[in-house]
Chain A
């Protein structure tokens, strides 16, 4: 326990400059990664961040060898990879998948070989990028990360309705005159930038986890896209900041700790949601196979009943629930019959 911590009453972790920087960096990554990641999940491109991480490694190696800032060269490589990925995808060739594989493995191989040619090119040097080295974050790094994270978060938030539209139904988006290819390239570039920002925190090999796993967790619990995105960001921040804190006290590698924490939350959410579904399934009674659909002009009296509408159908109360109708007892309250 440092003296400063004892004097101010700060927790020990906050008394170290490098840990303060680490926490800020973790917060930024925890915020940005799930926000971009939700659109990757929506487009079923959950592994694309992983591929970009591979290519970014080549950038890191080039930076180390040429004496440039590795963050900068990694950014250039990752952004170029992002643009190429989208152009390959936009051409829609079946060989596109193979082309991406060649690019991703080419990236990591190039990284390993190039860094081998450098004077101080030791495996340890590469490790800090592959698995993260958050406590080595400098003030300059932090400023760059903060600026990049700000751009990612702002742009993603501003373009959110359009990114959603394109990921949900690309053809429709195109038919309404939306600039689909431009939006897809923008998302890919945002992903690339996030990969580079997260590189020092969780490492290139684990970045994709922080973009995807919090979203997987949120998808289990949320009821709408809007609430899912908020929940994923909250989970992301909790995991990244919580992971840094845990790794400080437990003396474990940061990147791995963050990702294990995210996976633990995902597993907890899965068992919660499985249990919830089982209970809800037992608690509500589905009406008989229903060939008729109730609505404003279906002819069956609609009865306002405790925050929802029941349709009176041959003496039964039918309440719309998802794709079917529930059999409701008019004497019970809403919460007694369905739990969402």
Chain B
């Protein structure tokens, strides 16, 4: 599938209005212990979703579940319309793991790390082609590291290393980027640049699923916020809705409780119902609205 376009949603749009990620009462966890329980969620092309929640709320477990890194225990999960158990096209999910440092046990240049992203597109004995090299260079340029391509990654700052990992995910030419805490624990300059990188990707119509607890760095980029607490979805809506409900929560009387008051505009139905409140100037709104009854 070398003809894939780089991180644009148009290809997925061609698949019809099928969600990229679809969860129905899904549970994920380790061994038989569910960490995320009963999550229902649809994510469509072009959406930029922050997954928020306190430590231990199941944010990482949720995205790792989508990547097949833990056990899918219950409910239905499909990726690009394929049930997760039969999903094999892993390169469509661009994973940016949470890493504070890249392994420094041996030398490796930024290019060498990013080249790993191309492996799913190469045969077992395949080698890096000219096309691969071009994509690797483009990916590094997209995260603003073109001038560090041949530098040993262990000499880069934490934020730069994080961007190398984003470039690695981009090199796989995925349909959705799944990032685990991309802005956590990096210095201010890097956080700013990371914000710019994410905005640049958003401008290209990339679909992103970002686990975070720092909304500030993602200001203006997000189209949707999903909040988890205790392994359950407690809010799902636009950033504007989130701010309103957040103010209500912190200023209101029952600020400690979180299970049912979070979505201000919500009737008792499933958490997905907020998606119709997305700002109309965003792409793909029509599709999301059309999917409400999914």
Contacts and interface: CB of A to CB of B under 8 A. Distances in A.
Is B a genuine binding partner of A? yes
Interface string B169-201: 000100000000000000111101100100000
A223 B156 contact: no
Interface residues of A, number: 44
A100 to B, nearest CB: 19
Interface stretch (A1-9, A71-79, A165-173): A165-173
Contact of B112 (A164, A219, A290, A323): A164
Contact of B125 (A158, A171, A174): A158
Contacts of B91: 176-177
B151 A168 contact: no
A225 B105 contact: no
B107 to A, nearest CB: 5
Given A224-B108, A225-B107, A175 B150 contact: no
Contacts of A297: 144, 196
Given A169-B116, A172-B97, 14 more contacts: A171-B97, A174-B67, A175-B97, A176-B90, A176-B117, A219-B107, A222-B107, A223-B107, A224-B108, A224-B152, A291-B188, A293-B190, A295-B193, A296-B141
| Shortest beta-carbon contacts, A-B, top 5 | A177-B90, A322-B155, A295-B144, A323-B157, A175-B67
Nearest to B90: A177
A38 interface: yes
Contact of A225 (B112, B117, B148, B156): B112
Interface in A249-305: 290-293, 295-297
Interface in A171-187: 171-178
B95 A172 contact: yes
A165 B105 CA distance: 13
B129 interface: no
Contact of A172 (B68, B156, B168): B168
Interface in B9-42: none
B103 interface: yes
B119 A175 contact: no
Interface in A232-259: none
A164 B117 CA distance: 12
A227 B143 CA distance: 25
A158 B189 CA distance: 40
Given A219-B107, A224-B107, A178 B189 contact: no
B139 interface: no
Contacts of A296: 141, 144, 146
B93 interface: yes
A339 B119 CA distance: 33
Contacts of B146: 296
Contacts of B107: 219, 222-225, 227-228
A165 B150 CA distance: 17
A293 B193 contact: yes
Interface in B38-88: 67-69, 88
A170 to B, nearest CB: 10
A309 interface: yes
